[in-house]
A and B are shown apart, each in its own frame.
Chain A
Amino acid sequence: MLLLPILLIPLVTAIVTYFSGKNSKYVALGGSLLNLAYVLFMLNTYNASGQQTFTFSMPWLPYLGVSFSLMMDGISLMLTILSSIVMPMVIYASWNRDYEDRHVLYALMMLMDAAMAGSFIAADGFLFYLFWEIALIPIYFICLKWGGEGRQRITLKFFLYTMVGSLFMLFAFIYLFQHTPDKSFALQSLYEAGRSLPVMEQGLVMAGIFLAFAIKMPIFPLHTWQPETYYIAPTPGAMLLSGIMLKMATYGIIRWLIPVVPLGLKEYGIWLVGLSVVSILYASFISIVQKDYKRLIAFASIAHVGLISAGLLSANVRGIQGGLVEMLSHGINSVGLFFVYDIIVSRTGTSDMDKLGGIRSIDPRLGFMFLIIVLGVVALPFTNGFVGEFLLILGLFEYNQVLGAFAGLSIILGVVYMFRSFQKMMLGEVKDEALNYKKQTNQETMLLLLVCVLIIGFGVYPKPILAISEKSVVELLQGIAQ
């Protein structure tokens, strides 16, 4: 029963927000803060009970072998914390911006939050698929209604792309379902079914499931929807997409890929890791030559997610733990990066880096905070990015040294493109577009300050974060080893 409020709080908030008209932003923020408080309470309960897994189950569609089962262990909790921290930040980021029908915007955002939270705690393959797809609908409409030029075509491409990918996941689940002894989609049944398959079939199932995740994250060469979609998405939409939504896929790797097909992963996993590393390098190089800041963030996101994916797929404790921490950091840093974009665009109307420059000399506070975010993104020690990326590369190195070395390049390349963006926008001469630049408001400072505090706080003292999921990760990997 403890798990239901994680779904219900955002859901009820969404409904109330929709009907609250002009007060919608207060309602949405209040609801998301309530959600955060509840998740922290869950964290406390979880630790106090000696890290016992929470479960909840009730029958739903018996003739399809589907039950409404939820579970939350350390891994799920980590992701739930991420979404509940990021959500209020996203809402606060759009506090003083003009969006028409903002009650609808916030309602859709909270709806998406509920779906994403659901996918993090689903313990039934069918249910996971359902939440996975539900999350797509609000963001599709957010991008379609508040998006930029060419949104009709781009959002439809985004929708169809992800839809096709998730169908392959559904195929794989149905295939597993048919091999379950009790004809059920329950997590443990699917695990059993997957592990009992011969290696070759495990490989095929793995390919099907990974395809869905690879499109969502995205991984080269399935990324073509992503830069466009991020580019046209309104800032809150982009924050949700990169801050939380793609973590559904990385979480899926831990919960719905590695334990389901351990043999297949051992045999063919190197291809997936290789693809992820290629994705890192490809996206990093593209980032370096981007002229537009928002596109740069989009490609940077691909690079970081590639690293997360490679580390997770190496299927050892360091890799997975690193992946989990990096998910949290990436979520927070994405919000920071997109918020800086939002601030700059609201002043100058452009995110073309060639037209910007010297903003730091006009608004030193923004320059300073942007620098901290950039440092977090490039994984400087004592920032949150460092903890995750270090563990990820360590895990990957344990798995395969050559690939580990290539993945390590991502940090250097990251420095190149992130510092280049900082240099072009913040330093140098003040260009025309930035002449009438207004300093940031207190609200903007507050949010950026929060991001900076989280970046440094997690970076300096990551132990409590790592402790949340450690036991669950170890248990998960032990389950596979047997």
Chain B
Amino acid sequence: MKGLKDWRIEGMNVATTASNPPILQSFNPSILRKMTELIILSLTGVMALVSEFLNLRKMLLPMAIVALSAVFALSYGHLDFVEPVYGMAQLDAFSGKFLMVLCALGVLWFWGFRRFFEEEKTTSDYFALTLFSFAGAACMVSYTNLAMLFLGVEILSIPVYVLAGSHKTDVKGNEAAFKYLLMGAFSSCFLLLGIALLYGATGTFDLAQITGKITSLTPDNQLLLQIGFVLTVAAFAFKVAAAPFHFWAPDVYEGSPVPVTAYMVTVVKVAAFAALLKFFQAFEGAIPQTVAWSVYALCFLTLMVANFVAASQRNVKRLMAYSSISHTGFMLTGIFSQHEGAENLLVYYSLVYGIASLTAFRVLWYLRNEVADIQDFKGLLRTNQLAAVAVILAMLSMAGIPPLAGFIAKYRVLAAALAAGQGWLVVVGILASLLAIYYYFKIIIVMFEPSDAAPTRQLKMADRMFLYVCAALLLGLTIVPLV
């Protein structure tokens, strides 16, 4: 029997070690320095909540953008500076890169979809929810402790469940929110069970300690570890919508309001991928062949299922959902096959994919908020040339056609797979890309068709700028790839 004094679980040494007295007992200013990113994001979220009676509603958008920019700048500082946060998280180059991508995508998202907040009576709630989920994302990219990972996943997800159902009168929206919540709960179960088994096998929640103990496990514990690993990966597969855990995604993406869908396919997905990569890196080289094959099967299934189903979609939102799943397949392939420099690969892919998605969803939102048939794009080239060109660039980038940045991203993934000796996966990836050309071009071709529709309402100056910036990034990231 352990004594009362030992109630704390090993590795979960949040507050009490010899060098670090409990936070609440004696306030240590270093906490501000150590957790600045999280504090900024959460405080801005709280500010958003109280802004309702402080009459600060107009200030919310600038505040959110300033907060994200600040986090961006702080993360840049962490690129060559490691800052452990009480054994739970660690701000370093890894978290810095991903936080920068998340902040960049976040700023673009706030910029492009700011009318989502203007239209509603519940402005401050939406702002708060978004910012809280951002805080969750920050936890997910920087965790070193599996408990922190779980916290991050939940903090990220719960606000998004609410946002998905933000159109209260919309049946599809409600269905989407409910489905998302149920499936999210499922994946949380998997995650918890996986973490518990990992703990059972190694006796710690700390990633670095787990890595250290992998090689010296008894066969029984080894099995436990493997099951735990597979369950945790399955939970991630739910979150990033990898086949065969993807069934919720098309319905949820279709039913949610467009801005929320855009948020889900960019910020949520990127954060989940960063967490998955971090998790995967901890087990690098210690995964038995059988388990590794199940992981590759995940890539294969995702690439194939997504593209075959996408090719037969007529609803653009569903099509984009499957396209997003297919990108999940590519990102998984990149993560699983490249060990050295996998994070740069993923950072680049996420950024490019995120920008293309935001562009596409922004234009989709401009065309129509609810169910969007592919015919909604008909004649767009005539009615709004800028929007059409932006969508064309986004589609070309997603299809991986040079010189758009999407090509470099896909090429890097497939080159990594080839270098890892997974030639067959490369072939699958290329077949998937070819199929993808077919459905992305379906949208492009429709835009070129003549249409009788009169020119629709013009985009506002800020939205035009948004599209210009996205288009420039999609081209510019080829020339200057940054990472």
What number of B residues sit within 8 Å (CB to CB) of A?
A: 24
Interface string of B414-452 (1 = CB under 8 A from A): 010010000000000010001001100100110011000
From B381, B402, B412, B481, contact of A134 by CB (8 A): B402
A residues 304-319 with Cβ under 8 Å of B? none
User: Given A144-B445, A159-B441, A160-B437, are A133 and B430 neighbors across the interface (CB < 8 Å)?
Assistant: no
- Return B401 CB to nearest CB of chain A, in Å: 7
Complex Cα distance, B441 from A133, in Å, reads: 16
Tell me whether chain A's interface is mostly helix, strand or loop, or mixed: helix
Chain B residues lying within 8 Å of A163, measured Cβ to Cβ, are 401, 434, 437
Chain B residues lying within 8 Å of A159, measured Cβ to Cβ, are 437, 441
Residue A204 interfacial (CB < 8 Å): no
Contact B412 A64 (CB under 8 A): yes
Chain A residues lying within 8 Å of B438, measured Cβ to Cβ, are 156, 160
Residue A167 interfacial (CB < 8 Å): yes
Most chain A Cβ neighbours within 10 Å, of B408, B411, B434: B411
Contact A64 B430 (CB under 8 A): no
Look across to chain B and name the residue whose beta carbon is closest to the beta carbon of A126: B411
Chain A residues lying within 8 Å of B402, measured Cβ to Cβ, are 129-130, 133-134
B residues 380-428 with Cβ under 8 Å of A? 381, 392, 396, 401-403, 407-408, 411-412, 415, 418
- Return A212 CB to nearest CB of chain B, in Å: 14
Chain A residues lying within 8 Å of B430, measured Cβ to Cβ, are 167
Chain A residues lying within 8 Å of B3, measured Cβ to Cβ, are none
User: Given A133-B401, A137-B401, are A156 and B445 neighbors across the interface (CB < 8 Å)?
Assistant: yes
Contact B411 A64 (CB under 8 A): yes
- Return A196 CB to nearest CB of chain B, in Å: 20
User: Given A129-B402, A134-B403, A174-B415, are A145 and B448 neighbors across the interface (CB < 8 Å)?
Assistant: yes
Look across to chain B and name the residue whose beta carbon is closest to the beta carbon of A136: B401
- Return A285 CB to nearest CB of chain B, in Å: 33
Interface string of A412-445 (1 = CB under 8 A from B): 0000000000000000000000000000000000
Residue A409 interfacial (CB < 8 Å): no
Complex Cα distance, B444 from A137, in Å, reads: 12
Contact B448 A64 (CB under 8 A): no
Residue A289 interfacial (CB < 8 Å): no
Contact A144 B448 (CB under 8 A): yes
Contact A152 B445 (CB under 8 A): yes
Residue A271 interfacial (CB < 8 Å): no
Chain B residues lying within 8 Å of A167, measured Cβ to Cβ, are 430, 434
Complex Cα distance, B401 from A144, in Å, reads: 17
A residues 116-134 with Cβ under 8 Å of B? 129-130, 133-134
Complex Cα distance, B396 from A356, in Å, reads: 43
Complex Cα distance, B415 from A167, in Å, reads: 13
User: Given A130-B403, A167-B430, are A137 and B396 neighbors across the interface (CB < 8 Å)?
Assistant: yes
Contact A164 B434 (CB under 8 A): yes
Chain A residues lying within 8 Å of B434, measured Cβ to Cβ, are 160, 163-164, 167
Residue B285 interfacial (CB < 8 Å): no
Chain A residues lying within 8 Å of B449, measured Cβ to Cβ, are 152
Complex Cα distance, B450 from A144, in Å, reads: 11
Residue B341 interfacial (CB < 8 Å): yes
Look across to chain A and name the residue whose beta carbon is closest to the beta carbon of B427: A171
Interface string of A130-156 (1 = CB under 8 A from B): 100110010001001100000010001
Chain B residues lying within 8 Å of A1, measured Cβ to Cβ, are none
Complex Cα distance, B225 from A172, in Å, reads: 41
- Return B9 CB to nearest CB of chain A, in Å: 41
Residue A481 interfacial (CB < 8 Å): no
Complex Cα distance, B450 from A152, in Å, reads: 12
Contact A63 B341 (CB under 8 A): yes
Complex Cα distance, B304 from A6, in Å, reads: 42
Chain A residues lying within 8 Å of B341, measured Cβ to Cβ, are 63
Complex Cα distance, B408 from A129, in Å, reads: 12
Complex Cα distance, B447 from A145, in Å, reads: 10
Residue A48 interfacial (CB < 8 Å): no
- Return A459 CB to nearest CB of chain B, in Å: 39
Complex Cα distance, B445 from A159, in Å, reads: 12
Residue A402 interfacial (CB < 8 Å): no
Complex Cα distance, B437 from A144, in Å, reads: 15
Look across to chain A and name the residue whose beta carbon is closest to the beta carbon of B403: A134
- Return B265 CB to nearest CB of chain A, in Å: 25
- Return B467 CB to nearest CB of chain A, in Å: 16
Chain A residues lying within 8 Å of B396, measured Cβ to Cβ, are 137
Complex Cα distance, B389 from A141, in Å, reads: 11
Complex Cα distance, B415 from A156, in Å, reads: 27
Complex Cα distance, B481 from A164, in Å, reads: 26
- Return B279 CB to nearest CB of chain A, in Å: 24
Interface string of B332-352 (1 = CB under 8 A from A): 000000000100100000000
Chain B residues lying within 8 Å of A174, measured Cβ to Cβ, are 415, 418
A residues 220-237 with Cβ under 8 Å of B? none
Contact A64 B415 (CB under 8 A): yes
Chain B residues lying within 8 Å of A178, measured Cβ to Cβ, are 418
- Return B35 CB to nearest CB of chain A, in Å: 33
Interface string of B200-224 (1 = CB under 8 A from A): 0000000000000000000000000
A residues 183-218 with Cβ under 8 Å of B? none
Contact B408 A61 (CB under 8 A): yes
Complex Cα distance, B396 from A130, in Å, reads: 14
Complex Cα distance, B408 from A134, in Å, reads: 13
- Return A111 CB to nearest CB of chain B, in Å: 10
- Return A453 CB to nearest CB of chain B, in Å: 37
- Return A50 CB to nearest CB of chain B, in Å: 34
On B, residues with C-beta under 8 Å from A are 341, 344, 381, 392, 396, 401-403, 407-408, 411-412, 415, 418, 430, 434, 437-438, 441, 444-445, 448-449, 481
On A, residues with C-beta under 8 Å from B are 61, 63-64, 129-130, 133-134, 137, 141, 144-145, 152, 156, 159-160, 163-164, 167, 174, 178
Please give 20 more A-B residue pairs, beta carbons under 8 A apart, in addition to A144-B444, A152-B445, A156-B445.
A63-B341, A63-B344, A64-B412, A130-B403, A130-B407, A133-B401, A134-B402, A144-B448, A152-B448, A152-B449, A156-B438, A156-B441, A160-B434, A160-B437, A163-B434, A163-B437, A167-B430, A174-B415, A174-B418, A178-B418
State the 5 A-B residue pairs at the shortest beta-carbon distance, nearest first.
Answer: A133-B402, A130-B402, A134-B403, A152-B445, A144-B448
**Can you list 29 residue pairs at the A/B interface with Cβ under 8 Å?**
A61-B408, A61-B481, A63-B344, A64-B411, A64-B412, A129-B402, A130-B407, A133-B403, A133-B407, A134-B402, A134-B403, A137-B396, A141-B392, A141-B448, A144-B445, A144-B448, A145-B381, A145-B448, A152-B445, A152-B449, A156-B441, A160-B438, A163-B401, A163-B437, A164-B434, A167-B430, A167-B434, A174-B415, A174-B418
